[in-house]
């Protein structure tokens, strides 16, 4: 609200308050006047009643307390004279309710019938004066009546009551009160108009200067610190204008200092931000390098251990495998000799027969070649496992070399064979191979096998977690599978796609899959480094690409693309868009 409105409202409020007080005063005066009229009427009525009571007492003294015709005529004469003097209706009613005197002579002797609410009867009963308004055909507007008792002062006996009209007295007082009310209302209206006019002129006298100060404040707030107020009045607003100009001068000086300080601070902040960015990047690189070194060291140690175990197992298994061939031949020769002895000596001695029966020679002849054959198959299986371990570790191929990608994938699957088999708490995972015709690919075979190991391991974990949420019937209806697909792209690249039919991954998680230390596995089951290191091996070491396609409820597919030969500049390969 503006100051002019506030001042006008304040003065108007004062005027309204004065009018309210005046109205209350008028109302109070009206009530007092009403009471005063009643009291005056009561006084007059009681005075008249007193004299009437004395005349009645004298007339009734020594008699049978009944008025004669002369007494009634005298009483009627007095009432008529009093009515002629005061212009007021007067009625005298005895205690039986009979009118014994009235300004209307025709009503004398009749029973009083206008006591609609019983005021006359109540006064005859308890002697308490009462006022009421009598409405009739002759007085449609009603006349005001007061009823008082006529009684013996000594005995307190009530002779009757007297009705006195006090309408004229009430109207006189009401007219006087109305005049007072009109005077007060007129004064209130004039005072209100004067208050509003005074508020308007006072506000108008100061509003212009305040508006100048307000406009100056807006200019200062909008940055115009050169704006000044020109005001020469020697009142409080003039002092405020002087203070405002001083403030504007200080703000101008402060702004100049602030601009200089701000420029210096911005420069320092930029330098600090650059330093913090470099430090953060260095720290991030250090953490990634540290994690990669730890993981590389682990894989190197694991590779050396696997290679050592494979080498140690390879020698004795080769010895066993080579001797099994000879043992199978020697055993067959011995069995042939036994057959010749049986043919040429059909009647052996009792001891020989007993021994033949003890060792069950026929079963031995039948089962021994099978046992040697199974031992040969087992030894050959061990040789294949040892070869796969050697292929996976690739310690002898640490440099860039053309290798068979399918051989590395198969070696990885052989190592993970135990996790793919069905167990009590783990359903079987079927491997579906969709191998294309791939040439030998130049790569770091050991590191690429590590990528395959990480992706397939994560696929197995995802299927295990998904199967825990499914029933046996659902697992039988939709068995767990890992599909491995390879193909050549544009004649220069190969793509390896590894997909599982688990529960899928949301886009929010996909965007963080290759971040260092990000993992969705429980604490203790994942480090968050596998896919991060795989990303670095594919992109930094082989200048390729790796990404994930998935959605909740759909299969999750990791796609690795690397060039067949590594002679192209890294930047061109890394930025080249590829499509399968």
Q: What is the pLDDT of residues 81-137, one digit of tens each?
A: 777 665 667 788 877 888 888 877 777 778 887 777 888 888 888 878 888 887 777
Q: Which are the contacts of 175, defined by CB distance < 8 A and separation ≥ 6? A: none
Query: Which pLDDT score, from 0 to 100, does residue 559 have?
Result: 95
pLDDT, tens digit, for every residue of 280-308?
A: 888 877 776 666 666 555 655 555 566 66
Q: Answer for the pair 11, 196: CB distance below 8 angstroms, yes or no.
A: yes
Distance from the Cα of residue 535 to its chain's centroid:
40
61-70, 203-212, 564-573 — which is least confidently predicted?
61-70
CATH number of 3-188: 3.30.450.20
| 348 vs 16 pLDDT, higher one | 348
- The DSSP annotation for 455-506 comes to HHHHHHHHHHHHHTTS-HHHHHHS-EEEEEEEEEETTTEEEEEEEE-SS---
Q: What are the start-end ranges of the H helices in 61-143?
A: 69-86, 119-126
325 phi and psi angles, rounded to 5 deg: -65, -45
Using pLDDT thresholds of 50, 70 and 90, give the confidence band for residue 575. Answer: very low
Q: Which are the contacts of 435, defined by CB distance < 8 A and separation ≥ 6? A: 406, 484, 485, 486
CATH number of 398-580: 3.30.565.10
Query: Which pLDDT score, from 0 to 100, does residue 576 have?
Result: 40
Residue for token pair 């609609």: 116
Using pLDDT thresholds of 50, 70 and 90, give the confidence band for residue 63. Answer: very low
pLDDT, tens digit, for every residue of 25-48?
A: 667 766 666 666 667 666 666 666
Average pLDDT of the residues of the chain: 76
151-165, 408-422, 547-561 — which is least confidently predicted?
151-165
Q: How far apart are CA 572 and CA 562, in angstroms?
A: 13
| 269 vs 15 pLDDT, higher one | 269
pLDDT, tens digit, for every residue of 424-471?
A: 777 889 999 999 999 999 988 888 888 898 899 889 988 988 988 888
pLDDT, tens digit, for every residue of 173-213?
A: 777 777 777 777 777 777 777 776 776 777 666 766 677 77
pLDDT, tens digit, for every residue of 467-494?
A: 888 888 888 888 999 999 999 998 899 9
Q: How far apart are CA 533 and CA 546, in angstroms?
A: 12
pLDDT, tens digit, for every residue of 155-174?
A: 667 778 877 777 776 777 77
Distance from the Cα of residue 222 to its chain's centroid:
37
Query: Which pLDDT score, from 0 to 100, does residue 183 have?
Result: 75
Residues of 299-310 as b/e, b for ≥16 C-beta within 10 angstroms? Answer: beeebeebbeeb
């Amino acid at each position: 609200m503006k100051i002019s409105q506030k001042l006008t409202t304040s003065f108007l409020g004062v005027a309204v308050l004065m009018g309210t007080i005046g109205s209350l005063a008028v109302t109070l005066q009206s009530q007092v006047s009403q009471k005063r009229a009643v009291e005056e009427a009561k006084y007059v009525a009681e005075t008249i009643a007193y004299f009437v009571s004395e005349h009645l007492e004298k007339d009734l003294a020594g008699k049978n307390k009944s008025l004669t015709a002369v007494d009634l005529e005298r009483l009627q004469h007095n009432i008529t004279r009093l009515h002629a003097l005061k212009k007021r209706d007067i009625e005298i009613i005895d205690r039986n309710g009979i009118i014994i005197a009235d300004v209307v002579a025709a009503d004398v002797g009749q029973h009083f019938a206008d006591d609609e609410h019983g005021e006359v009867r109540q006064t005859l009963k308890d002697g308490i004066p009462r006022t009421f308004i009598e409405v009739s055909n002759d007085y449609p507007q009603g006349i005001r009546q007061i009823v008082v008792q006529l009684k013996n002062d000594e005995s307190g006996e009530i002779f009757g009551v007297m009705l006195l009209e006090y309408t004229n007295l009430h109207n006189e007082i009401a007219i006087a009160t109305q005049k007072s009310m009109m005077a007060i209302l007129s004064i209130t209206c004039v005072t209100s108009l004067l208050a509003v006019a005074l508020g308007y002129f006072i506000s108008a006298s100061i509003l212009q200067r305040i508006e100048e100060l307000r406009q100056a404040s807006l200019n200062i707030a909008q940055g115009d610190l050169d704006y000044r107020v020109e005001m020469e009045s020697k009142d409080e607003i003039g002092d405020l204008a002087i203070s405002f100009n001083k403030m504007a001068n200080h703000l101008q000086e402060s702004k100049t200092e602030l601009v200089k300080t701000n420029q210096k601070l911005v420069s320092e902040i930029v330098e600090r931000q650059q330093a913090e960015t470099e430090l953060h990047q260095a720290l991030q690189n250090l953490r990634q390098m540290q994690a990669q070194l730890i993981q590389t060291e682990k894989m190197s140690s694991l590779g050396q251990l696997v290679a050592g175990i494979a080498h140690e197992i390879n020698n004795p298994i080769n010895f066993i495998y080579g001797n099994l061939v000879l043992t199978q031949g020697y055993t067959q020769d011995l069995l042939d000799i036994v057959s010749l002895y049986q043919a040429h000596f059909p009647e052996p001695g009792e001891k020989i027969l007993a021994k033949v029966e003890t060792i069950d020679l026929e079963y031995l002849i039948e089962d021994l070649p099978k046992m040697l054959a199974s031992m040969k198959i087992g030894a050959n299986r061990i040789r294949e496992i040892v070869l796969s371990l050697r292929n996976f570790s690739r310690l002898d191929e640490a440099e860039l070399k053309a290798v068979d990608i399918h051989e590395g994938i198969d070696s990885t699957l052989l190592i993970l064979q135990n996790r793919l088999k069905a167990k009590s708490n783990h359903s079987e995972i079927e491997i579906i191979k969709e191998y294309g015709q791939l040439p030998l690919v130049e790569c770091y075979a050991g590191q690429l096998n590590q990528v395959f190991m990480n992706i397939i391991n994560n696929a197995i974990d995802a299927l295990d977690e998904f199967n825990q949420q499914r029933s046996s019937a659902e697992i039988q209806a939709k068995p767990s599978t890992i599909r491995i697909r390879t193909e050549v792209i544009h004649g220069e690249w190969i793509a390896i796609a590894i997909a599982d039919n688990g529960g899928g991954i949301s886009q929010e998680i996909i965007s963080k899959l290759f971040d260092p230390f990000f993992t969705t596995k429980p604490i203790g089951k994942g480090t968050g480094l596998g896919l991060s290191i795989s990303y670095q091996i594919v992109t930094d070491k082989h200048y390729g690409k790796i990404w994930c396609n998935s959605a909740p409820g759909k299969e999750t597919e990791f796609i690795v693309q690397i060039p067949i030969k590594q002679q192209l500049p890294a930047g061109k390969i890394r930025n080249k868009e590829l499509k399968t």
